[in-house]
Amino acid sequence: MNSQNSQRSKRWSWGVTSILIGSTAVMVAATNVATQSVVKAEQSQPEIQQPKGETLKPTAQSQMMPQRDMMMAGEKTDRHFIEMMIPHHEGALEMADLALKLSKRPEIRQIAELIKSDQTREIAQMKSWYKQWYGTEVPSAMTMMNHSDMMGMTKPMGMTKPMDMTKPMDMTKPMDMTKPKPMGMQNMMAADLKALETAPDFDKAFIKKMIPHHKMALMMSSMGVDSDRPEIRTISTAIVQAQIKEIEQMRQWYAAWYKA
């Protein structure tokens, strides 16, 4: 199973990285996150002191601990993948709704309809899986923020400013998917929507906002293609396929319409 997952991960990494930075750094970052989760889980186990003159023999339980820790790390990654991808998809839906209302180009309205169709379906799938696997609804951004406050965090988690997609990404640091950042994402999305509504050329602004948004989805999906759950692998693969195609289409339109 692990070797098959690794092969899938390697195949899809080329498609993702050809859009992001032209290297295998995205999958390296995703692997680093999973590895760090396992290491942290192993380090949290109490240290067993060996009595002098005695040799501790491994028990069946101790032999199973690394496998259990890896499963727990995978479950945590899958859970937060859904918790992060749903609000990210919802942001794309809001941008698509604006496009249907404000765009002057039929091509933009067409891709907006496609985004709404695909991502509405994917949101419903992820919500259903979350309920089935974890026995509860996907927490809202406000619920997750309140939980952070209860844990002693006084500042919202997330980025303090939008990512600059015109500059190369620093992929030497793994993306931490174990900590939810819904409020940072919400603030960024609100700023994007406001900029779109007031843009002098909506269609140009839409492309400039949607391409970075899709790029972030590709980076997030690079973690899902190595999941132990076939459902997460399937939806991650679908996101990669659809959004790579849409990025290339929007790039072609931008070059043709704005001579870029």
Is 240 inside a domain boundary?
A: yes
Answer for the pair 199, 98: CB distance below 8 angstroms, yes or no.
no
Tokens of 109: 């309205």
Whether the model clears a pTM of 0.75, i.e. scores above it, the answer is no
pLDDT of residue 75: 79
> Is 54 contained in some domain?
no
**pLDDT band at 70; cut points 50, 70, 90:** low
Residue 116 scores a pLDDT above 60: yes
Residue 219, domain member (yes or no): yes
Residue 135 lies inside a defined structural domain of this protein: yes
Count of structural domains within the chain: 1
Terminal alpha carbon distance of the chain:
45
- Residue 246's alpha-carbon distances to 66, 97, 134, 159, in angstroms, are 41, 17, 32, 26
Q: Is residue 36 part of a domain?
A: no
Out of 82-91, 107-116, 137-146, pick the least confident.
137-146
Q: Which residue has the higher pLDDT, 187 or 232?
A: 232
- Would the pLDDT of 82 be above 90? yes
Higher pLDDT, 40 or 222: 222
* Average of per-residue pLDDT across 122-132: 98
**Residue 93 included in any domain:** yes
Tell me, yes or no, whether 134 lies in a domain.
yes
Tell me how far apart the alpha carbons of residues 21 and 3 are, in angstroms, rounded to a whole number.
26
pLDDT at site 245: 98
State the residue range of the domain holding 213.
Answer: 74-160+175-260
CATH code of the domain in which 226 resides: 1.20.1260.10
Q: Determine the pLDDT at residue 217.
A: 97
